[in-house]
Structure 1
Amino acid sequence: MAIGTVALSAALGLIPAAAASGDTSWSSPKPATFDQFAAQPFDQQASVLQPLRAVAGALDDLGRGSLAAAYGDVVMDPVADTVTLYATSPAGGAALVAQAKQDHPEIDTTLIRIKPAAYSKAQLHAARDRLAAQAGHLPYQLVSVAVAVDGSGLEVGVDDPAAAKQTTALAAGAAGSDPASIAGVPVVVSQGSGMTGQTRYADTSPYYAGGLITSGGWDCTTGIPVANNSGGGYAIITASHCAHTGAVIYNGGGAKEGTVSEYHENWDAAKYPVSASGAYEFDGSPSAYDPRPLSGTKYSYNGDSVCQDGYTSGVICGIQVVNQDVQNFMVRGERYGNTFAVRGVIGRRANSTAVRPGDSGGLVFAIPYSGATVREVRGIVSASVDGHSDEIFWTEALDIYNTFHVHLV
């Protein structure tokens, strides 16, 4: 089973059950499921998601910083109009809520529901990293390590579950007293599914997100238009499995756009300088010309709804975040014949296609508020899950910015 699927997530407690809500803002019947929610007009979705995103972001900022010891994770539920905060103690949860309200007085903390987390996100990250460091010395191949959003443990995908379950490194952690050991952290082992790289037309400067690019016979998509933090200059971010350093990038008409100057496989991201890039994406179908401006960048949280804009698919929306913290070890760079570890997010579009070949590197975005014409950057398309075209894997833009020392144009 693919890491991050709804069935697996439910088993790990990754997505809380929907609760009754007194919200009356819907002009049509209140949706009972996320699929019904995703079928609503974007403005209606955004009006519900905006306050939830504000709350989740305020809590997550603290959880990545000063209150990391108390923080498990956050899950948004736009059907129930709640944000679930997983905390390692009642006092820790209360402290997170109080500090978030102090830092952001505008947020509605009545949306928050606190649930217990056995481990903090920081503890689980330490356990995950220790396991990953053993990857070359294990009698099986790591495919992915997902952090359970409820703080209960790790979900590890491997090529040989039987071998993994008999191995001390997974069953009980490395021997010794190292507090960063995975000893004591529950690990659920399952058959891993590899990630397969995904493959508008003759875009010209300034380059936008969502355009066709080719290199060495491989078709991919322009992702995030960026500018360097220092020294000046513009660039486009696309997927690193599409092109490594030195690869020449062309548009669909064969005109050169640029040459890759840098890539980082842990975010499946490559950067190629261009003469100019514009903060827009080609919205709509693959044949449409409907540029929309890009504004702002945020992380994605479980339960949120996003869109992706790949060259092959055009814009696809209604993608639900089902696991916001996954590290994959089998994203296959077919062009380069290698495998590499990459961290990112899994989303699912129930019973519908979420991503197609050629969408790699394309923009993942959110519609930030009701009536918005702008698109909020979330990341770039990395892969689909083998055999599951309704599941998409992407890496997050804020991590990419920090790594390449760039910012949205």
Structure 2
Amino acid sequence: MPGTRTKLLALTTASALGALLAVVATPAAEANDGQRATTTDAALLAHAKKVAPLNAVANALGEQGRGTFADTYSDLHVDEEGGFVTLFATDSTRAAKLVAAAKHAHPTIDTALIRVQNAAYSRKVLDREIDKIFPLGAVKDASKEVYYGAAPKADGSGITVEVKPSALQRVKARGNRLDGIPVTYVPGKIKTAASWRWNDSRPQIGGDVLVGNARKSGYVAQCTGGIAAENSHGRDYLITAAHCFPNGAGVYGEGGSTPGHWTGSHGKYFGKVTSTKDGWDAQLIDSGLYNGKGFNSDEADTPTGKWYAVNNVAYSYKGQRVCQDGARSFYNHKGVPCDITTSNDDYRYRIQWADGSLHNVRGVQGKGSYCGTEGDSGGLVFVVNDSRRRQARGIVSAGNGPGEIEWTEATDILHSFGLKLNPHQ
């Protein structure tokens, strides 16, 4: 532990995507985010057009599955290459009614894209059992905890539970069912939290660099701005990862004229952390300003110096591709990673904050050739709607090497804080 000298927080292994000490060559300074862009990479636009009908179907089905038809809904798989959406449900008659209700609520969806497949258990039943062994939030006595993660099986046939490796055989000996539900035990790993795009002037947006005192005393954390939102009075907040800064901490831009050098120096003041939801790995930075003057619902994308409006929000489902605008990836010449495919849309995992505390989180897991790195924590996870708009899916939370990433979902986060997106400008 350092004395009075401030150090960068540098943690390794499978991590919530935070800071490193390494210095790399960086792009030219992005002194401001510039202006909203009206063009997007042609390949991304083509993909957005291709999957738009599938996403519309998935969103409509998921809406019913989380509501009136929770008794039969189990899962959704979006096959972006095959061009269809598979609905997993426990009852074929109820499934047909679910599809009809989705069509009634959203008349423009194409129900011919839907395939229905039987599932043994509803998501509601599986989640209820997972909640018993893996409740969200702070872990009170880590010495007694053996479960490191949990998720429903992709076909609704049971549960997969990640277990502390040293306890795996002991847990397996108890049997392969939880309250009658089949369970598969696999070795797990705690996600170790540590905690960078350049904008040091208001309003800040998704993808901007955040710097502030870390949860570990005497250290500095560096994260990425994620979801910009407002309350019913129009007060501006920026949402980043909960493991980044303690409540009450001041949050700043990155100081200096050469972004991406990870010096940890404070730039201009952004706001103060006022609230944390550790089960969603999310925290609020209060700007003290209103109507988009402090934070505005846009995200820093490419080309450099441009931004895009983030004006709608949705859940993610298996098979859907997403992007994330983590600042560290940008300054490591990875641009905006967009080849991330949702592999698990209801994933519980354990994360360790810099102060050593453990927290159970519920989110989504994605995989790809490159998904992110330390310093991307809090960055916006999104999909491209068109050349002007982006859809918020969540914020970057954790990872396990460059090929895996976890994020928590924007809809859940906004609901938990009682906020909405604020794309004013």
TM-score, with structure 1 as normaliser: 0.82
Of 316, 324, 328 in structure 1, the residue corresponding to residue 337 of structure 2 is 316
Q: In structure 2, how many angstroms separate the alpha carbons of the residues matched to 1:245 and 1:128?
A: 29
SS in 1 for 2:420: strand
Q: Is the 8 A contact 2:339 2:370 kept in 1?
A: no
Alignment partner of 2:296 out of 256, 278, 287: 278
Instruction: Return the offset for 1:137.
Output: 9.9
- Note the residue ranges of structure 2 that are not aligned, 5 or more in a row: 1-13, 15-40, 214-219, 256-266, 331-335
Aligned to 1:384: 399
- Alignment partner, residue 107 of structure 1: 109
Contact 1:198 1:384 in 2 (8 A): no
Deviation at 1:201, TM superposition (A): 2.4
Counterpart selection for 1:356 from 366, 369, 373:
373
Counting only pairs closer than 5 Å after superposition, residues 266-305 of structure 1 correspond to structure 2 as 266-274=279-287, 275=289, 276-284=294-302, 288-305=304-321
Q: Which amino acid counterpart does residue 326 of structure 2 have in structure 1?
A: G
Q: Is the 8 A contact 1:344 1:395 kept in 2?
A: yes
1 CA distance for matches of 2:191 and 2:403? 13
Which amino acid in 1 is paired with 2:148?
V
Native 8 Å contact 1:224 1:408 kept in 2: yes
Q: 1:372 aligns with which of 377, 387, 391?
A: 387
Counterpart pick for 2:353 among 330, 333, 337: 333
2: CA distance between counterparts of 1:133 and 1:252?
36
Partner SS, residue 321 of structure 1: strand
Is 1:306 matched with 2:298?
Answer: no
Counterpart amino acid of residue 57 in structure 2:
V
Q: Is the 8 A contact 1:263 1:270 kept in 2?
A: yes
Paired residue for 1:261? 274
Task: Say which SS state the counterpart of residue 104 (structure 2) adopts.
Answer: helix
SS at match of 2:338: strand
Amino acid at match of 2:305: Y
- RMSD across aligned C-alpha pairs, in angstroms? 2.0
Over 3 Å counting, the alpha-carbon distance change for 1:402 and 1:264 in structure 2 is same
Q: Matches of 2:122 and 2:63 in 1, distance apart? A: 14
Contact 2:134-2:149 within 8 A present in 1 as well:
no
Letter in 1 for 2:416: T
Q: CA deviation at 1:139?
A: 6.0
Q: Is the contact between residue 194 and residue 243 of structure 2 (CA under 8 Å) also seen in structure 1?
A: no
Equivalent in the alignment of 1:121: 123
Which residue of the other structure, out of 378, 399, 404, is the alignment partner of 2:412? 399
Supply the distance in 1 between the matched residues of 2:50 and 2:86 (Cα, whole angstroms). Answer: 15
What secondary structure, in the 3-state scheme, does the structure 2 residue paired with 1:118 have?
A: coil
CA contact (8 A) 2:160 2:186 kept: yes
Compute the displacement of 1:290 (Å): 1.6
State the 1:133 CA deviation. 5.2
Specify the SS of the correspondent of 1:186.
strand
* Counterpart-to-counterpart distance in 1, 2:254 and 2:43: 33
Moved more, 116-125 or 101-110: 101-110
State the SS of the aligned residue for 1:359. Answer: coil
The one-letter code sitting in structure 2 at the alignment partner of 1:360 is: S
**Is this contact kept in 2: 1:297–1:377, CA < 8 A?**
yes
3-state SS, counterpart of residue 292 of structure 1: strand
Q: Which has the higher contact order (CA 8 A, sep 6+)?
A: 2
The one-letter code of the counterpart of 2:367 is R
Other-structure match for 1:176: none
Shift of 1:281: 1.1
Alignment of 1:31-42 (within 5 A): 41-42=43-44
Cα gap change, 1:117 to 1:137, in 2 (>3 Å): farther
Q: Give how far 1:259 is off.
A: 1.1
Amino acid paired to 1:71: Y
Instruction: Summarize the Cα distance change of 1:282–1:47 in structure 2 as closer, same or farther, 3 Å threshold.
Output: same
Given that 2:319 and 2:341 are in contact with CA atoms closer than 8 Å, whether structure 1 keeps it comes out as yes
Cα separation, 2, equivalents of 1:187 and 1:327 = 15
Deviation digits for residues 37-66 of structure 1 (CA, Å, limit 9, x no counterpart): xx9811221122110011111111111111
Aligned to 2:235: 233
Asked whether the 8 Å contact 1:198–1:382 carries over to 2, the reply is no
Distance in structure 1 (CA, Å) of the matches to 2:101 and 2:272: 46
Structure 1: give runs of 5+ residues left out of the alignment: 3-38, 174-182
By how many angstroms is 1:353 displaced?
2.0
Q: Deviations over 1:249-270 (max 9, x none)?
A: 1100222111100101000001
Q: Which residue of 2 aligns with 1:187?
A: 183
| Equivalent pair of 1:140/1:163 in contact (CA under 8 Å) | no
C-alpha offsets along residues 382-403 of structure 1, whole Å, 9 cap, x if unaligned? 0112xx3111100011111111
2:223: which partner in 1?
220
Measured against aligned partners, the alpha-carbon deviations of 1:328-347 in whole angstroms (never above 9, x if no partner) come to 12x1112x221100100001
Q: In 2, distance between residues paired with 1:313 and 1:194?
A: 23
Residue 338 of structure 1 aligns with an amino acid whose one-letter code is S
User: TM (normalized to structure 2)?
Assistant: 0.79
1:98 maps to amino acid:
A
Kindly provide the amino acid, as one letter, of the partner of residue 209 in structure 1.
G
Does the 8 Å contact 1:197/1:357 carry over to 2?
Answer: no
Cα deviation, residue 247, structure 1? 1.2
Task: Tell me by how many angstroms 1:167 deviates.
Answer: 2.9
